[in-house]
Chains A and B, each alone.
Chain A
């Protein structure tokens, strides 16, 4: 009640101030009239009565002030006045305050974005598991790539465990081939148990979810379609529920359609019942209260040991491990990038604070006389400090608002540039209120640090002394040492960032399309599979028949009018992971290289020219030699200055038993070097051999197509493949450029963001140099003025002291170059085709920084010219 009445009075005083003042005035006039009348009744004349009334009242204005005091709004109105004053002052120095605003905005924006990325990578839990309680049961150790459970082991864990309160089997990744009216198609699927669907909160758009009895092996398989698949492959068939879908030789009943916003664990096209899964299942588990992860892993190990040495996991030397769901799904290199960027952004905040503080100090030094005079006239220091606080707070809040306004644009842009293969569904920009909190917190800290410098100045300044010495012509204080140290620190940071960005960008360029040796963006790549085709008893492996089918595919694709070249290969550039064979001239192996079986059009499709010889033969006879095409560098390495054609070398597959014979290869052609192996593989020597029945034609092959103009149309290639054989499945259509982008996503992301940070650092650094030089002009104005009065040209003076600052900058650059060389050594594994100590990169960065520093010194020249030598002389 009391608070409400006070609030009403305060609000009335603030927002109806003229009415309140009028009422106060009227109330007091009434009193005076009444008192005057009383005095007149006592016998006084009117004038004397009025005077007496005024005397007894004791000063109307003073009483009004007392009443305003009683309302409790004095503090608020004073603050409002000071706020308005600060606002006016803000616009009186647009350049300086604009720079401060830019500094804050850049650092707050980058930091908030980095925080968002950091939060997504390290802290954000999937919606279904906000506390991060669910773990994935997996294996560690043993053979790489073999870390999957067998169905028997998973059942044993489920039956024997005593440590989990929840246990849901899942197959996170499955890629079945389904028969659609237009032909076979391979899709991205996942096998989920009924419990897994419950855990993730699935709700079907139509139909139903899976039932527990459908988790059992041998039960009738059922499927849930994604909305996308229902709309595109089934034309939004309203009676889809209950229909049958062919997956290989199995008939699967469609039981429902999931809405578009259901994405688990990736962007699946299809979810199949867990009972219809036989390829290394995982499980999502939740620990019982009080059970630690280590205890649970021990319990699983005991169960695994109980299965005997012949269980698949024991044979491979695997150990059960429980991995947090988020960690299981996010590649570690992306998380490292996020961590580094967040750390960088915090350093940025510190640097921007220092710069902003320096800018504020310039403001104060520039109007020392005004500040000192106002202090001498009795304006409290507190009011001046509040004034500074208001100014900085307004700038900081403006920067926060700009950052928040840009977040909906910058956030999705940033996340769109993170390409992760099989991206987990929660790795997307999702606004959260704590981003705003973080932006305000960072701006608050920045503002607090920024006001510290002018506050210290205001507390220490002696107004009498400043006025005596005449602020305009003050002596140099010589207190620039700490600012020089600050500048050195900034330049050091900028140099490290600049060199890192330079090296990463160059590395990124080196793994870019131009250096791959073929136009990656123009080459279509997809996969075709004859896995579902059963072959005759006479040829159980099916190599001959498969090759015949594949030849028909090549013919069909060639018949497209747009096709310039088409080829098949067992491995694809971009996907591959490095050498997979050793080669020898005689008995002794002399090196490693990459091998893939390819069709003769492979080099044409990639547009790689032959240096010598010809491509592989279309038909490599089974009883004749195996021909091979090698790269130029390998030819030079093995047969320097000799003709490599028709020479023989021997290859052996890595990991093949020692008893396996080497395969002789006759070189039929040499092509220019190109990046045949993985995106960052150092060794790109290759020996490519023909696709032939003798060396087993695998059921899955990559298909490459290059059109005469533009990028091949996916549908036309799919149609051509299905015309060759409708049983073939066709999947993962893309371009080589896209494949490479995904493989290099982490590297590109780090390079791009480091470049953004480096660009922002240039801005901060230029502000730092600007503020330092201008401060010196302001502080040493008397000295400069006297020198000019004695005949020194302002240009010479400027050159002299600019050289001093450039020397400071140079010291920072040298320290930074040393720091950068140390940092580059750490991230050298990320660099491709760039020396971590690349002199040209280091020199370019140093030159750029010195140039920026020189440019930032230019405004100080104009300040210098504004000094009046006559005034300086008069002050002596």
Chain B
């Protein structure tokens, strides 16, 4: 199995961020590392594109932010899922499952 990092599919970053912070509030660096870690370093989150995405999600009201202390007692901004964000996450997960299921079906049938 090749150990190559894969670019995220367009539009999936929102879903991954929402899912990642659904367990606990996390800072931006932590989110990128968590996604890499869970994906077995297969997914590479472009660090530059992570922050605009976080700010956009915050502006949409799906996540909220709060300054706090990191593990190493450094000042960091932590993001957590809001109630609306949870609904949005559920919807996006449903959409994703439907999408991947349909793609899988096509791949099997053709």
Query: Cβ of B46: which chain A residues have Cβ within 8 Å of it?
Result: 58
Distance (whole angstroms) from the CB of B49 to the closest CB of chain A = 8
Of A6, A56, A62, which is within 8 A of B59 by CB? A6
In contact, A27 and B51 (Cβ under 8 angstroms): yes
CA distance A110 to B34 in the complex (A): 70
In contact, B55 and A30 (Cβ under 8 angstroms): no
B12-69 interface with A by 8 A CB criterion = 27-29, 33, 46-49, 51-53, 55-56, 58-61, 64, 67
Q: Count residues of B near A (Cβ-Cβ below 8 Å).
A: 25
Of B28, B29, B52, B60, which is within 8 A of A5 by CB? B60
Query: Cβ of B10: which chain A residues have Cβ within 8 Å of it?
Result: none
Query: Cβ of B93: which chain A residues have Cβ within 8 Å of it?
Result: none
Check: B102 CB closer than 8 A to any chain A CB.
no
Kindly supply a per-residue 1/0 record for chain A positions 376-412, scoring 1 wherever the CB is within 8 Å of any chain B CB and 0 otherwise.
0000000000000000000000000000000000000
Of A1, A2, A28, A33, which is within 8 A of B51 by CB? A28
Check: A310 CB closer than 8 A to any chain B CB.
no
In contact, B74 and A30 (Cβ under 8 angstroms): yes
Check: B84 CB closer than 8 A to any chain A CB.
yes
In contact, B48 and A30 (Cβ under 8 angstroms): no
Distance (whole angstroms) from the CB of A324 to the closest CB of chain B = 56
In contact, B60 and A67 (Cβ under 8 angstroms): no
In contact, B48 and A58 (Cβ under 8 angstroms): yes
Check: A874 CB closer than 8 A to any chain B CB.
no
In contact, A67 and B55 (Cβ under 8 angstroms): yes
- In the complex, the chain A residue whose C-beta lies closest to that of B47 is A57
Query: Cβ of A23: which chain B residues have Cβ within 8 Å of it?
Result: 67, 77
In contact, B84 and A67 (Cβ under 8 angstroms): no
In contact, B70 and A67 (Cβ under 8 angstroms): no
SS class, residues of chain A in contact with chain B: helix
Distance (whole angstroms) from the CB of B43 to the closest CB of chain A = 15
Distance (whole angstroms) from the CB of A22 to the closest CB of chain B = 11
CA distance A56 to B77 in the complex (A): 20
Query: Cβ of B53: which chain A residues have Cβ within 8 Å of it?
Result: 70
Check: B2 CB closer than 8 A to any chain A CB.
no
CA distance A219 to B70 in the complex (A): 96
SS class, residues of chain B in contact with chain A: helix
In contact, A1 and B61 (Cβ under 8 angstroms): yes
Of B28, B61, B84, which is within 8 A of A27 by CB? B28
- In the complex, the chain B residue whose C-beta lies closest to that of A30 is B76
Of A30, A62, A70, which is within 8 A of B77 by CB? A30
In contact, A30 and B27 (Cβ under 8 angstroms): yes
In contact, B75 and A5 (Cβ under 8 angstroms): no
CA distance A23 to B75 in the complex (A): 10
CA distance A26 to B49 in the complex (A): 17
Distance (whole angstroms) from the CB of A33 to the closest CB of chain B = 7
Of B48, B49, B55, B77, which is within 8 A of A71 by CB? B55
In contact, B29 and A31 (Cβ under 8 angstroms): yes
Query: Cβ of B70: which chain A residues have Cβ within 8 Å of it?
Result: 30, 34
In contact, A31 and B28 (Cβ under 8 angstroms): yes
Of A1, A6, A58, which is within 8 A of B84 by CB? A1
CA distance A56 to B48 in the complex (A): 8
Check: A532 CB closer than 8 A to any chain B CB.
no
In contact, A59 and B28 (Cβ under 8 angstroms): no
- In the complex, the chain A residue whose C-beta lies closest to that of B71 is A34
In contact, A67 and B51 (Cβ under 8 angstroms): yes
Distance (whole angstroms) from the CB of A70 to the closest CB of chain B = 4
Distance (whole angstroms) from the CB of A21 to the closest CB of chain B = 13
Kindly supply a per-residue 1/0 record for chain A positions 625-643, scoring 1 wherever the CB is within 8 Å of any chain B CB and 0 otherwise.
0000000000000000000
Query: Cβ of A92: which chain B residues have Cβ within 8 Å of it?
Result: none
Check: A432 CB closer than 8 A to any chain B CB.
no
In contact, B51 and A9 (Cβ under 8 angstroms): no
Query: Cβ of B56: which chain A residues have Cβ within 8 Å of it?
Result: 70
Indicate whether A31 sits within 8 Å of B61 (C-beta atoms), given known contacts A66-B52, A67-B52, A67-B55: no
- In the complex, the chain A residue whose C-beta lies closest to that of B30 is A34
Check: A63 CB closer than 8 A to any chain B CB.
yes
Check: A72 CB closer than 8 A to any chain B CB.
yes
CA distance A31 to B67 in the complex (A): 14
In contact, A66 and B51 (Cβ under 8 angstroms): yes
Distance (whole angstroms) from the CB of B57 to the closest CB of chain A = 9
A35-50 interface with B by 8 A CB criterion = 35, 38
Q: List 8 A-B contacts (CB under 8 A).
A: A26-B77, A28-B51, A30-B77, A38-B33, A57-B47, A70-B56, A71-B55, A72-B59
* 20 extra interface residue pairs, beta carbon distance < 8 Å, beyond A6-B59, A38-B33, A71-B59: A6-B61, A9-B59, A23-B77, A28-B51, A30-B29, A31-B27, A31-B29, A31-B51, A34-B29, A34-B70, A35-B29, A57-B47, A66-B48, A66-B49, A67-B51, A67-B52, A69-B52, A70-B56, A70-B59, A71-B55
Which 4 A-B pairs have CB atoms at the shortest separation, nearest pair first?
Answer: A58-B48, A66-B52, A5-B61, A70-B56
